[in-house]
């Protein structure tokens, strides 16, 4: 998956000039895929060079002529091939989650400051997505129904932002409690041993649990 695939899908609905693609991208796929203006223009040029896009120069007086890109047959085929190929399950690499997991190792005020900064970002994002949702909902039902796939991705983005903000409230509460400031070596050992096991507390004895269970069954059999 790459930006070029997103651009092929975007142009699958019709041709557009580079500037219009950049602006339109922000209103359709901008909340799904992060890309700068430079990256979009760069990949448009590569797609054209690779023979997947046709480009025509259109008069735009009094402004300079515009280059309008169209998906050609090769580009359409490349788009269909990508759409038909299953996407790998996305991997989550979130540095802030690592910081939250390391809450007991750092200054809680520093972490709280970063949390508030991110919370403000998600609030602004959510306000933007709510406005976009209102725009979608203003469309006639007969039109919106044809583009429900795009609307569903917007609703997914809204839920992600809403969930993050709800989760941030819980982080706030844990930061305020600061229970980790009184952690003991025994609690650290128990926590790490449990995580490295099967999710359940390990037996006190060094004898494996399965072997102990087998021994009990044998004793039970002799007793009968």
Which of 24, 57, 84 is at the close of a domain? 84
Same domain? 75 vs 101: no
89 in a structural domain: no
Over range 192-200, report the average pLDDT.
73
User: β-strand 16-17 against 63-71: which pairing, if any?
Assistant: antiparallel
200 in a structural domain: no
Same domain? 111 vs 72: no
At residue 220 the predicted structure's pLDDT band, cuts being 50, 70 and 90, is very low
Same domain? 17 vs 76: yes
Q: Which residue has the higher pLDDT, 207 or 80?
A: 80
DSSP 71-89: E-HHHHHHHHHHHHSPPPP
Give residue-wise pLDDT tens across range 95-135.
999 999 999 888 999 999 999 999 999 999 899 899 989 99
pLDDT of the residue at 79: 94
DSSP for residue 106: S
| b/e 153-163 (16+ beta carbons within 10 angstroms → b) | ebeebbeebee
Does residue 35 have a pLDDT over 80? no
Q: Which residue has the higher pLDDT, 49 or 218?
A: 49
10 in a structural domain: yes
Does residue 82 have a pLDDT over 60? yes
Q: Is 44 exposed, middle or buried (0-12, 13-18, 19+ CB in 10 A)?
A: buried
Which residue range is the domain that position 45 belongs to? 3-84
Same domain? 61 vs 101: no
Same domain? 118 vs 62: no
pLDDT of the residue at 215: 44
Highest mean pLDDT among 6-15, 166-175, 179-188, 192-201: 166-175
**Number of independent structural domains in the chain:** 2
CATH of the domain at 75: 1.10.10.10
Place of tokens 């709800």: 166
Same domain? 75 vs 105: no
DSSP for residue 57: E
165 in a structural domain: yes
């Amino acid at each position: 998956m790459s930006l070029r695939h997103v651009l092929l899908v975007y142009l699958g609905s019709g041709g557009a000039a580079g500037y219009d693609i950049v602006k339109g991208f922000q209103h359709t796929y901008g909340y799904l895929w992060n890309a700068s203006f430079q990256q979009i223009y760069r990949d448009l040029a590569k797609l054209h060079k690779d023979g997947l896009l046709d480009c025509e120069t259109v008069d735009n007086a009094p402004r300079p002529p515009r280059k309008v890109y169209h998906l050609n047959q090769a580009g359409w085929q490349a788009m269909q091939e990508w759409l038909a190929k299953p996407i790998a399950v996305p991997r989550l690499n979130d540095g802030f989650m690592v910081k939250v997991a390391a809450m007991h190792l750092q200054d809680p005020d520093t972490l709280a400051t970063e949390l508030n900064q991110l919370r403000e970002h998600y609030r602004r994002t959510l306000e933007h997505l709510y406005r976009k949702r209102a725009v979608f909902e203003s469309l006639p039902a007969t039109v919106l129904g044809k583009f429900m796939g795009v609307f569903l991705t917007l609703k997914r983005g809204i839920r992600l932002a809403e969930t993050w903000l709800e989760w941030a409230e819980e982080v706030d509460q844990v930061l305020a409690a600061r229970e980790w400031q009184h952690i003991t070596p025994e609690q650290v050992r128990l926590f790490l041993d449990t995580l490295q096991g099967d999710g359940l507390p390990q037996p006190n004895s060094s004898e494996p649990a399965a072997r102990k269970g087998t021994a009990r069954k044998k004793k039970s059999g002799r007793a009968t």
